[in-house]
Amino acid sequence: MREVNKYRTSQLSEILGVSRDALRYYEEKGIIKPKQTEVNNYREYDLYDIYTLMVTDFYKKRDLSIKEIKRLQAESEIDELEILLEKKAREVEETIRIKEHILQKINETKEFCEDIKKYLNKFSIRKLSLYEIKGEISDFNAFREYPAILENMDLIKEDILSKIMRKFVFDETGFLNHKMYIVEKSETKQKDRHYLEYSNCIYTIVEDGRYQNGEDDIRYKIFDSTMAWANEQGLKPEGVAFANTRLITYCDNMERVFLEIFMPIKEK
């Protein structure tokens, strides 16, 4: 009769690289059922336990849950396994798409950190990217209207701040009114939809928030400085400006908010 070797918990951890806590967890879930010695109650694992743990690791690396692995242990036909793996493939592909979108957001924010160093309180000419207008709310602080934003966003991929574009209307005397657009960046236009698109805008980055400005409204300061630069350059604004929040940091528990400002100018 072939001798069946027995292994202690410490030996199994060394053989398979599985922690004691993981072994206890697999035991609690019924994946393995080690025997216990009568003398000192030590757990003893045999070669079938080792093989089961390797199979468990095999399927964990294919994103199966412990519950799914236990179901496979009970009985698993090839066709059923193939269906399960197809389901897992779709889930992983969706996770990859979400992570790629998050990576894009991270890289865009990193790039904006560099832009702050170059363009904070400085002016240049830049194109406003194409944005589809998905709706409106009356004011940034009109929080009871925010469900309208949620209806127009993917809660897994998108954040509320990036969905809000502020529009200011003005003339030579100052601000006339403002509104808050719910927007989505777009690559192409479709019929019967409304978009923001301007080829030439005065562009700058400004800092807002309590740390920099307290409770002051910086709109007028931005307006005066931007209009002064436009006059120096011989540029004529179209009478609208757009602002979106690109970065928030904190100092002394007060927010520092960095805004992008786009003020479209008339073609010469």
CA gap 70, 178 in Å, rounded: 59
Strand segments, DSSP code E, in 158-253 are 164-171, 174-185, 195-208, 240-251
Q: Taking the chain, what is the end-to-end CA distance rounded to the nearest angstrom?
A: 97
The region that residue 200 occupies, defined by phi over 0 for left and psi between -120 and 50 for alpha, beta otherwise, is beta
| Tokens at 219, concatenated | 């709109």
pLDDT on residue 217 = 74
pLDDT on residue 172 = 79
CA atoms within 13 A of residue 81's CA, in its CB half-sphere: 12
- Low-confidence stretches of the chain (pLDDT < 50) are 1-3
**Among 141, 214, 210, 215, which Cα is nearest to 180's?**
141
Residue 180: how many CB atoms within 10 A of its CB?
A: 20
pLDDT on residue 1 = 39
Contact 165, 241 (CB under 8 A): no
For 54-81, the pLDDT digits (tens) are 999 999 999 999 999 999 888 888 999 9
pLDDT on residue 142 = 93
The full DSSP string for 233-264 is HT--B-SEEEEEEEEEEEETTEEEEEEEEEEE
pLDDT on residue 171 = 85
pTM of the model: 0.77
pLDDT on residue 181 = 97
**Among 195, 122, 125, which Cα is nearest to 165's?**
195
| Tokens at 95, concatenated | 């996770």
CA gap 251, 131 in Å, rounded: 32
Long-range pairs for 143-148: beta carbons < 8 A, 24 or more residues apart: 148/182
Q: List the Cα angle 186/189/194 in 5-degree steps.
A: 90
pLDDT on residue 75 = 84
For 110-137, the pLDDT digits (tens) are 999 999 999 999 999 999 999 999 999 9
pLDDT on residue 76 = 80
pLDDT on residue 4 = 59
- Report, in this order, helix, strand and coil percent for the chain, each rounded to 5: 40, 30, 30
Structural domains in the chain, sorted by start: 9-76 (1.10.1660.10), 120-264 (3.20.80)
- Write the CB contacts of 38 (distance below 8 Å, at least 6 apart in sequence): none
pLDDT on residue 40 = 74
Contact 171, 241 (CB under 8 A): no
Neighbouring-strand partners of residue 168: 178, 241
